Amino acid sequence: MSLRAGLDRLGTVARILAPLFLRVALAVPFLRSGLTKWDAPGVLSPGAAYLFSDEFRLHLFGRAVAFPAPLVFAYVDGVLEIVLPVLLVLGLATRLSALGLLVMTGIIELVVPNAWATFHLPWAAMALALMALGAGPISLDRLIEGRLPPAERAT
């Protein structure tokens, strides 16, 4: 096998595996965080309620502002931190799930404003890559897309 053929094969394998690895890498920190928000299904943990009510602040225009409706934000955050990562790992509604996590990353940046370099930039980059590339061949999105008539397939 020539060097060129080997590099082409390597590129093919990377195109198959990269979206799957991106989906899992982005899903893990959000899912781990989401699991800490619940005491039982539908029962928000006291710690999550405390964080959104008393600890977390949105840093807007040089001011720290309390979350409006903190329990609603805690509940929605807890649900999204479970649902979106699961969808990502399955490769289902991948672009929308990645968009949701990108928006959540932006909100998290408003709460922890100096974490771009350590966490938020990589999360945003992974979300944007998934929005651009889609779920990849190892995904439910691809399986479903393969069953759609050609006129209804995404480009």
Residue in this structure with the two tokens 């405390």, named with its chain if needed: 50
What is the pTM for the complete model shown?
0.88
Up-side HSE of residue 76: CA atoms within 13 Å toward CB?
Answer: 13
Predicted confidence (pLDDT) at residue 155 exceeds the cutoff of 60: no
C-alpha to C-alpha distance for 133 and 45, rounded to whole angstroms: 36
Q: What is the pLDDT of residue 114?
A: 85
Q: What is the pLDDT of residue 5?
A: 87
- Tell me what the pLDDT averaged over the chain comes to: 93
Closest of 27, 32, 56, 58 to residue 123, by C-alpha: 27
Q: Could you tell me where the DSSP H helices lie in the chain?
A: 3-35, 46-50, 70-90, 94-111, 121-133, 140-147
C-alpha distance from residue 91 to each of 21, 109, 138 (Å): 11, 26, 8
pLDDT in tens, 39-94: 999 999 999 999 999 999 999 999 999 999 999 999 999 999 999 999 999 999 99
Interacting residues of 55 by C-beta distance below 8 A, sequence separation 6+: none
Question: What are the φ and ψ backbone dihedral angles of 55, each rounded to 5 degrees?
Answer: -105, -55
